[in-house]
Amino acid sequence: ETGVTQSPTHLIKTRGQQVTLRCSSQSGHNTVSWYQQALGQGPQFIFQYYREEENGRGNFPPRFSGLQFPNYSSELNVNALELDDSALYLCASRRDRDVSYEQYFGPGTRLTVT
Amino acid sequence: AQSVTQLGSHVSVSEGALVLLRCNYSSSVPPYLFWYVQYPNQGLQLLLKYTTGATLVKGINGFEAEFKKSETSFHLTKPSAHMSDAAEYFCAVSHSGGSNYKLTFGKGTLLTVNP
């Protein structure tokens, strides 16, 4: 069973640019969530996608957007990058009917904004 | 609204000593509680979870945690620390709300194990 994978591993962008991060969910998982983990902090929920639609969002501005594809993979897009967007971005997947409520995390993408 | 407080951003123990990492939560509905571990430059790995049933839950690598509703706590313990336990530990709370199972994390506790 293939786990959650994310690409790229590391990324350096300049303030004002746009970035796209990618996530392949674990086999059989139809729900994907994205989290932002700033240095020295716990992960913060950005949003969740289910059946290709956003169905839950944390306290993040609209310049954070996403997509989920029919194969359940997902993208996180961030426009107009700010220095504070520098963080580890984690993707997590699960089955919507999984009563264990466990989310499986990928290794993350480290984004640095200069 | 849910929240998690982890007491102690850094805990240091000797190898073989008891590990105790503290977590208190706030939730307006019955919570689901989780402990995750994060090794340097890696993602999160689930150690254990409480959803319903037995309040003492056992996880991987010899860790266990007890859900105490009256104290709103879910502290993580391990009887004897090993050098390989050195990592950052996160407590998280969730609850079922339709199909939205977002996790709310604490700020983490860095565990160091001294030889």
* Chain B residues touching residue A42 (CB < 8 angstroms): 4, 90, 92, 105-108
Residues of chain A with pLDDT under 50: none
Rounded to 5 degrees, φ, ψ at A111 are: -105, 125
- CB nearest to B102's CB, from A58, A99, A106: A58
Single-letter amino acid code for the residue at B84: S
DSSP conformation class of A85: G
For B103, which residue in chain A has the nearest alpha carbon? A45
Cβ-proximal residues to A44 (8 Å cutoff; 6+ apart), any chain: A35, A36, A37, A38, A58, A59, B105
DSSP conformation class of B41: T
Confidence of residue B41 (pLDDT cuts 50, 70, 90): confident
Rounded to 5 degrees, φ, ψ at B71 are: -105, 0
Cβ-proximal residues to A20 (8 Å cutoff; 6+ apart), any chain: A75, A76, A77
* Contact between chains at B43 and A40 (C-beta distance less than 8 A): no
* Contact between chains at A33 and B104 (C-beta distance less than 8 A): no
Beta bridge partners of A87: A111
Confidence of residue B102 (pLDDT cuts 50, 70, 90): confident
Rounded to 5 degrees, φ, ψ at A47 are: -165, 170
CA distance B18 to B77: 7
Mutate to test the interface with B, among A101, A102, A109 (most CBs of B within 10 A): A101
* Chain A residues touching residue B1 (CB < 8 angstroms): none
Q: Name the interface residues of A facing B (CB cutoff 8 Å).
A: 4, 31, 33, 35, 40-45, 48, 50, 55-56, 58, 90, 92, 94, 96, 99-108
Rounded to 5 degrees, φ, ψ at B68 are: -120, 100
Pick from A43, A41, A30: nearest CA to A90: A43
Position B98 scores a pLDDT of: 54
Percent with pLDDT over 90 in chain A: 76
- CB nearest to A90's CB, from B43, B51, B107: B43
- CB nearest to A106's CB, from B43, B49, B96: B43
- CB nearest to B107's CB, from A41, A50, A94: A41
The predicted-structure confidence for B42-80, as pLDDT tens digits, reads as follows: 889 999 999 888 889 999 999 999 999 999 999 999 999
Q: What is the DSSP string of B47-105?
A: EEEE-SS-SEEE-GGG-EEEEEGGGTEEEEEESS--GGG-EEEEEEEE--BTTB---EE
